[in-house]
Amino acid sequence: MLLFDDKFFLGETRSGFYIESEMKRCWAVELDVLAEVDRVCEEYGLKYNIMYGSLLGTVRHRGFVPWDDDIDICVLRQDYQRLMQVLPDELPGGYVVNSVYTTDSLDQPIGSVINRANVTTNPIELAVSYGSPYVSGIDVFPFDYVPRDPEMSELQRSLYNVLYDAAQRFDDYSKTGEIEQYIPMIEELLAQPIDRSGNVRAQLWKYAEQIASMFTEEESDLVTWMPTRVMAENPRVCRKEWFDGYVRMPFENFMAPVPIGYDSMLKAFYGDDYMVPRTGAAGHDYPYYKSQKKWMIEHGMVIPAGCND
């Protein structure tokens, strides 16, 4: 566990936004998870960088963006696959690693590391999570190369789009029966079989990962998290040289690795004036633990002191 001053867990206002003590405890758990992943990366010589809103928070706030509630990191594909392989055996007991390689029920092509599988009121478990009963962790984005050849780039994007759509909307397509039409088309497109008796959705995600990782650094000038190429207005594509090195910067009480091209990256993601705070909620349902807390209350579980302020 990282060391935190008791004052860290007090509710406070940053940049005009009030952060509850409950959120501070979740931040602390997430920082612990990040520190453990950092330790494993150092041990195995794997490179990662703080990314997205967490990168913005590091540079602008020296910590979390006040209205953000998670930590994002990115890892280039080769190191990502190795990291997902070694993490389960290297992390503390109780930690859970999710990826398309380890979790068939996953519905996003993104990795995550969480501190536990379920909410808890167990005093021993609460003691190592700063009194927070919630499942907390970090997201791990695999970054892949985008080929510089325009035709190859469009081919990759198109193939990935087909697989991403089929996997993402698998339940809907299964209900309507459309999936039975799509599977033969996908098999023909990829010249690869899909085992109907197995977990079809998981196979689709794995094939999508193969398409995402089909090009090498030598063939590319750009890298990205591939889903943004098919689902986002701003695909957040990065120059590969932005990742040629990194510097460590303060992120709360942790020194996070920041890509050397962070200024160009943040301008591309958030605009030239990215250092000017724009108060608001995170891009997802803030706070992330809202549904967990509701479930605990509905099941008669007592929210620990400090997490019900």
Q: Count CA atoms closer than 13 A to 199's CA, side-chain side.
A: 15
**CB-CB contact of 244 with 267 (8 Å):** no
In this prediction, residue 104 carries a pLDDT of 80
d(C-alpha 300, C-alpha 169), whole Å: 34
10 Å CB burial of residue 30 (0-12, 13-18, 19+) is buried
Six token digits for residue 271: 């605009």
Give me the mean pLDDT over the 239-246 stretch.
97
Pairing relationship of beta strands 137-147 and 71-76 according to DSSP bridges = parallel
287, pLDDT greater than 60: yes
Six token digits for residue 114: 């969480």
d(C-alpha 255, C-alpha 193), whole Å: 46
Model confidence pLDDT, tens digit, residues 31-65: 999 999 999 999 999 999 999 999 999 999 999 99
**CB-CB contact of 259 with 49 (8 Å):** yes
Quick check: helix, strand or coil at residue 281? coil
d(C-alpha 95, C-alpha 93), whole Å: 6
Six token digits for residue 131: 């009194």
Model confidence pLDDT, tens digit, residues 77-105: 999 999 999 999 999 999 999 998 888 88
d(C-alpha 110, C-alpha 98), whole Å: 8
282, pLDDT greater than 70: no
Model confidence pLDDT, tens digit, residues 107-154: 789 999 999 999 999 999 999 999 999 999 999 999 999 999 999 999
Count CB neighbours of 157 within 10 A.
Answer: 17
281, pLDDT greater than 60: no
pTM as predicted = 0.95
Count CB neighbours of 6 within 10 A.
Answer: 6
